[in-house]
C-alpha cells in the first residue's frame, strides 16, 4: 500500500461521521469538471447537435468561441458577432472576426486559450476540427456544439439548429428564409439550361478536387454546373491525364490567395498537360474566393457568382428581379469589407493528420 493511501486512511478513521460526510462531499465536488458557463448564464438546456451528440447549453449564451471559419461567418450573419470572444487562426471574415483573440489552428487549437476565455459555448465543425479536441473540451466541462453538413440544404438546416441552440431561432429562420428565396430565384433563372461541365481545383500540386457527396459539389449543381469527377472520396487526388481525357468545359480554382492564384492561371497555357485542356486554351477558367469552400451563408454568393459566369445569358436585363435579403443580413456580412452516427459521441470523426487534408481545410469550413 502506498504511503499516500495509508495516510489518507488514517485521517479518515479519525474523522467523526459528520465531518467524514463533509470531507467526501468536498472531494466529489472537486472531482467534477468545472463548468464553463458563469452563474449569470443560467441553467443549461439539452440540445442535440448535427453529429447526434447531446450538448448541455446554458440558457443564455453570452460568450462563444468558434473553431472554424464557416461558423464564425455564420455567427456574425446571425447577429451575434458581439458574443464571439475567440476564433481560429483562419477566421478572416467578416473583418471584425480578425479583431478577436485566436485560439490556434482548427486542427490543433489551444485548449488552455479556449478555457481562459471562459466560453459558455464552443462551436466546432466536424469537417474542420478533430474529435480529440471536442472530447478534451467535454472533459474540461466546456459545452461544445458540432456541425456537420454535406449539402446546401443541410447547411441551411444546420444554421437553423445552431440558431435554436443559441436561443435565437426566429433570427435563424429569417436568415435561412432569405437564403432559400435566393436559391429559388436562381433556379428559376437557370430553368431549362444545360449544366456546364466543370472541374473544381482545390489544390493544383498535387491535383486535388472534390467528390460528389460534398456540399461544394451540391453548390455547383445549384449554380448550373456538372462536376466531371463522380467519386465517393471527398477530396480525391487526380492525375492530369485523367482531366485531359474528361475535358471539362470550365476550370474553377478555389483559394484565398488571389495574387498567387492569378499568377497560376496566367501560366497554365505554358504548363505541360494543362495546355492540352480546351478550357485553358479558350480561357474558360474562373478564380473563386474562399466562400465556395465554406458551409456558411456566404456560400450563396459563390453559387450566384458561378452561375453568372457559366450562364451569362440567364442574367440579362429582362431577368426577374432578385428577392430581398433578410433584414440586416447584408450589413452583418459586410462589416468592414453522409455519414450517419447512431451512437452518442464522436466515433468516426475524421482525423485530418496529413498535409493534403490540411490544405483543403485551411480556408474551408
Give, for 240, the enclosing helix (H) or strand (E): helix 240-246
The CATH label, of 3.60.20.10, 3.40.50.1980, 1.10.10.10, 1.10.1270.20, for the domain at 39-148+339-361 is 3.40.50.1980
> Looking at the predicted structure, is the pLDDT value of residue 22 above 80?
no
Strand order in the sheet with 250-254: 225-227, 196-201, 250-254, 285-288
Question: What residue spans of 128-212 are helical by DSSP H?
Answer: 131-139, 152-165, 169-190
**For 31-63, how does the pLDDT look when each residue is reduced to its tens digit (9 = 90+)?**
334 344 444 456 889 999 999 999 999 999 999
Q: Rounded mean pLDDT of 122-134?
A: 95
Q: Does domain 193-326 have CATH number 2.30.30.40?
A: no
Buried b (16+ CB within 10 A) or exposed e, 30-48: eeeeebbbeeebeeeeebe
Cβ pair 243, 277 in contact under 8 A: yes
Domains 39-148+339-361 and 193-326 equal at CATH topology level: yes
**For 291-331, how does the pLDDT look when each residue is reduced to its tens digit (9 = 90+)?**
999 999 999 999 999 999 999 999 985 555 555 544 433 33
**For 163-187, how does the pLDDT look when each residue is reduced to its tens digit (9 = 90+)?**
999 999 999 999 999 999 999 999 9
Q: Rounded mean pLDDT of 9-13?
A: 42
Domain boundaries, the chain: 39-148+339-361, 193-326
Beta strands in 7-60 (DSSP E): 44-48, 54-58
Residue 351's pLDDT is: 38
Identify the band that residue 261 occupies on the pLDDT scale cut at 50, 70 and 90.
Answer: confident
Pairing relationship of beta strands 54-58 and 44-48 according to DSSP bridges: antiparallel
Amino acid at each position: 500500500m502506498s504511503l499516500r493511501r495509508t495516510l489518507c486512511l488514517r485521517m479518515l478513521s479519525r474523522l467523526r461521521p459528520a465531518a467524514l460526510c463533509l470531507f467526501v462531499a468536498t472531494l466529489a465536488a472537486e472531482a467534477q469538471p468545472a463548468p464553463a458557463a458563469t452563474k449569470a448564464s443560467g441553467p443549461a438546456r439539452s440540445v442535440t447537435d448535427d453529429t447526434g451528440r447531446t450538448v448541455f447549453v446554458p440558457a443564455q449564451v453570452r460568450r462563444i468561441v468558434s473553431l472554424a471559419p464557416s461558423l464564425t461567418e455564420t455567427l456574425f450573419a446571425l447577429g451575434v458577432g458581439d458574443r464571439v470572444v475567440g476564433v481560429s487562426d483562419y477566421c478572416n471574415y467578416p473583418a471584425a472576426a480578425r479583431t478577436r483573440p485566436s485560439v490556434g489552428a482548427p486542427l490543433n487549437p489551444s485548449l488552455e486559450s479556449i478555457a481562459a476565455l471562459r466560453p459558455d459555448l464552443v462551436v466546432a465543425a466536424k469537417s474542420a476540427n478533430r474529435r480529440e479536441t471536442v472530447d478534451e473540451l467535454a472533459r474540461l466541462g466546456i459545452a461544445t456544439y458540432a456541425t456537420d453538413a454535406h449539402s446546401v440544404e443541410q447547411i441551411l438546416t444546420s444554421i437553423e439548429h445552431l440558431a435554436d441552440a443559441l436561443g435565437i431561432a426566429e433570427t435563424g429562420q429569417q436568415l435561412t428564409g432569405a437564403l432559400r428565396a435566393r436559391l429559388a430565384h436562381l433556379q428559376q433563372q437557370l430553368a431549362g439550361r444545360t449544366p456546364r461541365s466543370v472541374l473544381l481545383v482545390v489544390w493544383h500540386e498535387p491535383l486535388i478536387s472534390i467528390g460528389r457527396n460534398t456540399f461544394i459539389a451540391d453548390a455547383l449543381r445549384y449554380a448550373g454546373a456538372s462536376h466531371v469527377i463522380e467519386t465517393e472520396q471527398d477530396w480525391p487526388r487526380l492525375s492530369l491525364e485523367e482531366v485531359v481525357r474528361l475535358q471539362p468545359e470550365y476550370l474553377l480554382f478555389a483559394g484565398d490567395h488571389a495574387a498567387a492564384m492569378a499568377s497560376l492561371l496566367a501560366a497554365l497555357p505554358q504548363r505541360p498537360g494543362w495546355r492540352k485542356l480546351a478550357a485553358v486554351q479558350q480561357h474558360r477558367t474562373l478564380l473563386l474566393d474562399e466562400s465556395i469552400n465554406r458551409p456558411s451563408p456566404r456560400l450563396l454568393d459563390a453559387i450566384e457568382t458561378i452561375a453568372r459566369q457559366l450562364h451569362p445569358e440567364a442574367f440579362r436585363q429582362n431577368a426577374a428581379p432578385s428577392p430581398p435579403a433578410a433584414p440586416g443580413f447584408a450589413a452583418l456580412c459586410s462589416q468592414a469589407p453522409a455519414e450517419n452516427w447512431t451512437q452518442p459521441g464522436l466515433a468516426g470523426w475524421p482525423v485530418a493528420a496529413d498535409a493534403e487534408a490540411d490544405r483543403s481545410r485551411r480556408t474551408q469550413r
